[in-house]
Structure 1
Amino acid sequence: MRSLPPVLLSTLLIGSLVACSDESTDDDPGAGQSVVTEALGDTVAKLALTSRIDAFGPRITAAITAPDDAVSMQIGLDPNFGDDDWQPLADSAELPAYEGYQEVFARFRSDDGTPSEFTVAGITIDSHAEAATASPPKPAAVGLIAPNAIEVSLEVGRVQRGVGRQGDTYLGDTVDATTLDRGWTLTGDDAPTLSVARRVSIPTDGGRDTNGEMTLFPMRHTVTLITSAPLVAGSTYAVGSPLGTSIEFTVDDRTQSSPAVHANQVGYDPADAKVAYYSVSEDVSKAAVAPEVRFAVVNQDGTEALRGIASSRTATDEAGKGDVTAAKVFQLDFSAVTTPGRYKVCVDTVGCSGAFDIDDSVWSALATTVARSLYYNRSGIELNAPFGSFVRPRPDHPDDGMVAYATDLTAFEASEQTDETVFDAIAEKATTTPVDDAWGGHFDAGDWDRRPQHLFMARQLLDIARRYPDAFADGSLNLPESGNGISDLADEALWTVDLFQRLQLPDGAVRGGIESERFPDWGTPSWNDTIPRYVYAPDAWSSWVYASVAADAALLLRDVDPERASKYERSAVAAWTWAESQETPQTEGDPSNAKVVSQRAVAAASLLELTGDAAYGSVFIDIAPFADGPTSPLACHSNEWCDAGWRYLAIPEQLTDPSVRTNIVASFTELANRIIDASEQTKFGWCLEDPGVPMVWGMGVGGNPHIITVLRAALLTDDQSLFNAAQRCAAVSLGANPTNTSFVTGRGQNPARHPLLSDSSFGGVPVWPGIPVYGTHPLADLSWVEDYRLKPAGSNVEGADVALLESWFDLPDVAALNEFTVFQSQAPVVWAATALAESAARRR
């Protein structure tokens, strides 16, 4: 039986380069001000991290103990360094950082030019923890949202995660939210009187008691106060809370933060179209917002880089979804600012956004962080130094006693069922036949499945690795495979490809992945989970999906590892041949059967390029909808004809049909233009992969910006307006939205912190950076969340009243909001961010 070892250690006893940090101390739970690092054994280097907060955001100071022979070093928040990033050796370095769990990567070089392995350390930054856990709690932030409207944020409590079934611990006081509806004061010279306009109280986390029930709810109370007269510029005021605590601020629209000004918190490339937004709820804006809104872009030394006039974004039916914002919104366009630096956007007489960078590494850094997060999603491998900042024992490996049994249910049949029925179906068709070598692949969020759709992640990563070979060179992600001569992004993709290759039968049939008998039990991390595992039976759909990706792997490796490439080629052809001999599965409710037939077409396109056999091209033309003209929908969000058409265009032209190519390009451009037209009808400029897609379960505003269609059209046509639209839509996911949330963990000044991640909830593993969560979902469709999470927490938010773009709560067990998958979340962000980085580099 597998034991439950401690995971976050202040001292790690493994590897030649070891550094690990405590997430908190008893005196300051989660503020990120203290860290312990120690390296034992064959010690080469150490990092000790501390953090501080200034007016332009968090900063990490790394105290460095370098190897004795080191003369230079590289250090940063990700390991994707270039030769230009070597710098003289120093005993400390300061790095701009973000909120949430942060990792720092460092390596060193001696006189002979030999680089060391990486040293990696981690630290959690939570700038509001001290105020939230004070007794009584103190207001954490205050700012103007209009000249006569103040918004105060009072956070109450934090949750300290327990390990296993210990239950979590609530830190701090609790507050009856209704006491915050009156009793606020404003003091200062000639301070005007106050009235409370509204209070919005929502949970910021959820913790479980020792029975596994979620009963511990830290809260954020956002109170809007209207003043009888505008506050005076340059004057200092103190806002007093009904709890007897207060917060002081000086009215300065070039330094004071305003929660009403929203920008991309990760930043912008110098060549990007750059927009931010100013929004005020309709009940406040009627009396408080000037008819003309002026703004400035201010750099770190206080200099104005640009002044401008905002444009109003009005919409009563946003992309056909109704009014999903319920606010008056202005767009602040500062595309003319191209000088690299750290900036804020500031609205006259109001205040400023959070800080952001204008830098040519913004998109590549985001892509690297999200790609790195996939390593932490691996199954069947121990996570350890020097490849990361924490330890996670190896889960789901046969050498540790895990046995997976065959079920006669296919993955396609399972995909046609609901969560309520699929587990019963697996059990009904379960056998007692063990399946050898059923390990590896990537987990998703709160469960341990590895399905054929995970190969869509591998497909997108391999596409990037082939299209932009220098973006993720060997060693760029600090993986166990680094140094093998293969792109690190390809290595990550192959971790899942190899699982399905092991599941392939001698006749070529590919079994459709691994599924548990039920969802994980509470209190059980992955390495302690003993729920029976089952391997799906083969089906044509799974085999076609695998054939396409194995063929792509063979193409990528053909010149760097011919033997491995040949193995993938034989495997891909065998999977195709078996699938072609089977009856085609039929999707219920879709006569076109796009879900299945599109995967056959992708496989045909990949095998056409791999083998040069025209028969594969004939199959593609016969079954794809592109022969007679442009087609829609492409369904990029579900990897259907979008992937098939895109894959066909990557084939050398002499092997393809010119008219089909033309129709595919037209399909992308026509749909992209419809997407952009719909986006222009939204107040915050968000995108959907298809305007008809419902904004639920990760298909609304969240970590995935839904710009694959638009970017592919932009790359095909070199239409700058499409690139501009993609940049704008990506900004919404990264903080330019009404809740000021970056829906990617560890990136931004207000990132998602509590994704559905069982190993973090129950195993002591930190929430690593780079996880894009699903994001907003209509609360009216989640009555259980309202009844069993919001109301017990003391929230006053109701489904009928909350605007969709504010319908997100950072609760770790609400899958519709905080789940993620490797193929719907991480892979699309890696693909999109890399495409944005490469296209911007080409324009510079």
Structure 2
Amino acid sequence: MSGRSTRAAALAAGLWLPLLLLLSPAPVTAAPAAGTGTGAAAGDIAPVRLNQAGLLARAGKHAILPHPARTPLPWTLHDAAGHVVAAGHSSVTGDDAASGQHLHQVDFSAVVARGDGFVLTVGPLRSRPFSIGDGPYGALKRDALAYFHHNRAGMPIEARFVGAQWARPAGHVGEVVPCFGGRDRNGNDWPACAHRLDVTGGWYDAGDHGKYVVNGGIALWTLLHLHERALARGKPPPFPDGSAAMPEAGNGVPDLLDEARWQMEFMLSMQVPAGTRMALPLGPQKPGERLRFTLVDASGMAHHKVADRRWTALPMPPHLDPEPRFLYPPGTAATLNLAATAAQAARLWRTIDPAFAERCLRAAVRAWEAARRVPDAHALGDFEGSGGYGDDDLSDEFFWAAAELLATTRLPVFAGPVTGSPHFAADAVAEPAWPQVAPLGLLSLSLQEGALPPAQAGQVARAIRNGADRFLHDGAGAGYRQPLAATAYGWGSNAGLLNRAIVLAHAHDATGEARYRDKVVDVMDYLLGRNPLDQSYISGYGARPMRHPHHRFWAPSLDPALPPPPPGVLSGGPNARPGKEALEKLGGPCAPQACWLDDIHLYTLNEVTINWNAPLLWVAAWLDETG
């Protein structure tokens, strides 16, 4: 699954040592079909790399050609009738560290023609036929949202909503579970608590059946933020009532909020009851050593996760999961994730369901007070059947929660923790990630007119634009036009690109500058096939889509009775430090963007998660509106 043991491990996953490339350089390669004079069939690698699902007519249009030539090559664009639409010469990007290839770029952004069946030729090489128009984003945003319904716990997934092949019985129904008590893998003895909680519902986190408050927090925020952005800009909701296939359609509530509420209800259920005292590890301690426990008032905190005692094997449909389930100890990070998302939900449901909004706000304030009372309960246990999601710096979680509470309540008591935080004073917004959530608070505040004085609101706006500019700088000269340095392709790199795209989209919203929008388009072009592997990392989209994610139900390669992934599922993507098993299958160290295989067993490369599909949904919906 996608959890890491510490913040350092999570962020370092994207900071593999450049020395690796120096010691074991990936070969500079030409396109496999170079010189053949042919294009590629649907399943074959194409010599000319393009977005396989279609190019946006109103955005930049680029193709990438791996080719050893050191001088520009002539290219021609033909329409379906064979007429020449445009022609020119490639620009030589040269040796590219991220891909390990010598690259040419073809820029035909000036083309305004629309239609299907366009073919780009570069010398004797031909692309697959492709379309220019509105792109796949209207369908993709719906499929990306459906991912969350497919991964609901506690209810049957019915054929009338998802199709017969993906229907399944409910998993983990009536999930009333006790706290874990016993020894973890590091020999620490965890005392069980006295309570049991009904935590039915929510989304399965990733390829396993764990449900995590920390990772669930950023995924839930992303869905809610997509809806809130539309409200702030006076746009119609991206998913009005009845636009998605789900049981709640037709209830008068936007479907995106219905899906988000399924997770929000679960998050609320993870809150520790009043009057609960628990022994927790406090302060900086090393996870691999014996922990010291302190008895604290845990009232209002949030349990970190509910998960199996032991890992289940692949495949394992959720309704067949044989393992006992437990609540795992509460932590400050989970508590602040609950405070932030519940505060966010409170303002969005204020006019839709005032009683639910009030319930969310009460939970948020209780969680905030609990985190202030127990500010350093870190997730340090090494439990066998679930990911860690540990985090050794909680200052960003405190900032995020305070920002959401300030945005909702406008109370001065929350202004100090926001404006007095070093995260508020940051010159530039960083890439959002589950262990790096300060950007979420800044992005939320950017939508809240009047939450901050004008000078401070301007500071937030500048930080967002500066962050977007840094991402553009990180990708300057990148052969495949991605806003990420060659050394930063780590675990979940595809989601990292999408989270950067969210910041870039905000910069475009604020300025209207095409350079930000076009870089968002570059990210989606890459994910949909314009990459060194000619691979669409999104199931159901493109000529060569991802087919074998690390998932216990979407697993036909292991059990032919089980379904493939439905359309709209994002693979974690290339990871230059994927671990021993993956490196062996890859044949050794590889260039960062080439370190990927479509293999169900390789979770460091091909897992799928709620916090990766959430930014896919956000960006697809944004492009459907603005692209």
TM-score bracket relative to the smaller structure: 0.7 to 0.9
Task: Say whether residues 1:388 and 2:162 are aligned partners.
Answer: yes
> Given the alignment, which residue of 615, 618, 622 partners 1:831?
618
| CA drift at 1:633 | 4.2
Secondary structure of 1:511's counterpart equals: strand
Cα gap change, 1:676 to 1:805, in 2 (>3 Å): same
Aligned position for 1:337: 111
The answer as to whether partners of 2:222 and 2:615 remain within 8 angstroms in 1 is yes
> Given the alignment, which residue of 793, 814, 838 partners 2:602?
814
Once the two structures are superposed, what CA deviation does each residue of 1:651-709 show, in whole Å capped at 9, x if it has no partner? 222x3133332332222222322221221221111233xx4973121126998474233
Aligned position for 1:460: 222
Cα gap change, 1:714 to 1:563, in 2 (>3 Å): same
Quick check: which has more Rg, 1 or 2?
1
AA aligned to 1:497 is M
| CA drift at 1:325 | 2.2
Cα gap change, 1:764 to 1:783, in 2 (>3 Å): same
The answer as to whether partners of 2:532 and 2:593 remain within 8 angstroms in 1 is yes
Once the two structures are superposed, what CA deviation does each residue of 1:584-620 show, in whole Å capped at 9, x if it has no partner? 34699xxxx8842222222222222222212111221
Aligned position for 1:18: none
Aligned position for 1:472: 239
| CA drift at 1:632 | 6.0
> Quick one: distance in 2 between partners of 1:632 and 1:527?
41
> Quick one: distance in 2 between partners of 1:148 and 1:523?
41
Secondary structure of 2:420's counterpart equals: helix
Task: Say whether residues 1:265 and 2:52 are aligned partners.
Answer: yes
Once the two structures are superposed, what CA deviation does each residue of 1:455-505 show, in whole Å capped at 9, x if it has no partner? 211101001112224211111111111111111111111111111112223
Cα gap change, 1:503 to 1:146, in 2 (>3 Å): closer
The answer as to whether partners of 1:545 and 1:600 remain within 8 angstroms in 2 is no
Cα gap change, 1:448 to 1:349, in 2 (>3 Å): same
Cα gap change, 1:498 to 1:701, in 2 (>3 Å): closer
> Quick one: distance in 2 between partners of 1:334 and 1:492?
39
> Quick one: distance in 2 between partners of 1:148 and 1:362?
30
Aligned position for 2:269: 502
Secondary structure of 2:88's counterpart equals: strand
Aligned position for 1:676: 472
> Quick one: distance in 1 between partners of 2:466 and 2:181?
43
> Quick one: distance in 2 between partners of 1:324 and 1:577?
45
> Quick one: distance in 1 between partners of 2:94 and 2:434?
28
Task: Say whether residues 1:483 and 2:371 are aligned partners.
Answer: no
> Given the alignment, which residue of 447, 452, 456 partners 2:208?
447
> Quick one: distance in 2 between partners of 1:693 and 1:709?
20
The answer as to whether partners of 1:461 and 1:827 remain within 8 angstroms in 2 is yes
Cα gap change, 1:472 to 1:339, in 2 (>3 Å): farther
> Given the alignment, which residue of 159, 170, 179 partners 1:406?
179
> Quick one: distance in 2 between partners of 1:623 and 1:152?
54
The answer as to whether partners of 1:702 and 1:776 remain within 8 angstroms in 2 is no
| CA drift at 1:393 | 0.9
AA aligned to 2:446 is L
Normalising by structure 2, report the TM-score.
0.80
Once the two structures are superposed, what CA deviation does each residue of 1:64-93 show, in whole Å capped at 9, x if it has no partner? xxxxxxxxxxxxxxxxxxxxxxxxxxxxxx
> Given the alignment, which residue of 566, 584, 587 partners 1:798?
587
| Matched length | 550
Aligned position for 1:737: 531
AA aligned to 1:833 is A
Task: Say whether residues 1:511 and 2:297 are aligned partners.
Answer: no
| CA drift at 1:550 | 1.2
The answer as to whether partners of 2:539 and 2:545 remain within 8 angstroms in 1 is yes
Normalising by structure 1, report the TM-score.
0.61
List aligned pairs for 1:216-365, cutoff 5 A.
259-280=46-67, 285=68, 289=69, 291-315=71-95, 323-360=97-134, 362-365=136-139
The answer as to whether partners of 2:184 and 2:190 remain within 8 angstroms in 1 is no
> Quick one: distance in 1 between partners of 2:608 and 2:393?
21
| CA drift at 1:359 | 2.7
Cα gap change, 1:303 to 1:395, in 2 (>3 Å): same
| CA drift at 1:394 | 0.6
Task: Say whether residues 1:783 and 2:572 are aligned partners.
Answer: no
> Given the alignment, which residue of 566, 571, 584 partners 2:363?
571
List aligned pairs for 1:410-809, cutoff 5 A.
424=185, 428-429=189-190, 431=192, 435-452=196-213, 453-468=215-230, 469-507=236-274, 508-585=300-377, 595-627=393-425, 630-631=427-428, 633=430, 635-636=432-433, 638-653=435-450, 655-688=451-484, 691=485, 694-699=488-493, 704=498, 706-761=500-555, 762=559, 764-778=562-576, 781-787=578-584, 790=585, 798-800=587-589, 802-809=590-597
Once the two structures are superposed, what CA deviation does each residue of 1:288-341 show, in whole Å capped at 9, x if it has no partner? x483322233333333332232211124xx5xxxx2323221111122223432
Once the two structures are superposed, what CA deviation does each residue of 1:383-402 show, in whole Å capped at 9, x if it has no partner? 1131111321111112xxx5
> Quick one: distance in 1 between partners of 2:247 and 2:320?
23
Q: Which has the higher contact order (CA 8 A, sep 6+)?
A: 2
| CA drift at 1:574 | 2.2
AA aligned to 1:436 is L
Once the two structures are superposed, what CA deviation does each residue of 1:86-119 show, in whole Å capped at 9, x if it has no partner? xxxxxxxxxxxxxxxxxxxxxxxxxxxxxxxxxx
AA aligned to 1:694 is A
What percent of counterpart residues are identical? 24
| CA drift at 1:815 | 0.6
Secondary structure of 1:513's counterpart equals: strand
| CA drift at 1:577 | 2.4
> Quick one: distance in 1 between partners of 2:88 and 2:136?
24
> Quick one: distance in 2 between partners of 1:742 and 1:717?
31
The answer as to whether partners of 1:260 and 1:738 remain within 8 angstroms in 2 is no
Once the two structures are superposed, what CA deviation does each residue of 1:485-537 show, in whole Å capped at 9, x if it has no partner? 11111111111111111222343332223122222124432111121211123
| CA drift at 1:742 | 0.6
Aligned position for 2:287: none
> Quick one: distance in 1 between partners of 2:468 and 2:222?
19
CA RMSD of aligned residues (A): 3.0
List aligned pairs for 1:7-46, cutoff 5 A.
none
Aligned position for 2:33: 145
The answer as to whether partners of 1:703 and 1:772 remain within 8 angstroms in 2 is no
- The runs of 5 or more residues in structure 2 that have no matched partner are 1-30, 231-235, 275-299, 381-390
AA aligned to 1:754 is H
Cα gap change, 1:154 to 1:338, in 2 (>3 Å): closer
Secondary structure of 1:386's counterpart equals: helix
Secondary structure of 2:33's counterpart equals: strand
- The runs of 5 or more residues in structure 1 that have no matched partner are 1-142, 156-221, 223-257, 410-421, 791-796
> Quick one: distance in 1 between partners of 2:554 and 2:261?
25
The answer as to whether partners of 1:265 and 1:736 remain within 8 angstroms in 2 is yes
Secondary structure of 1:431's counterpart equals: coil
> Quick one: distance in 1 between partners of 2:52 and 2:367?
45
Higher helix share: 2
Secondary structure of 2:344's counterpart equals: helix
Cα gap change, 1:637 to 1:456, in 2 (>3 Å): closer
| CA drift at 1:646 | 1.0
The answer as to whether partners of 1:144 and 1:350 remain within 8 angstroms in 2 is no
Cα gap change, 1:707 to 1:608, in 2 (>3 Å): same
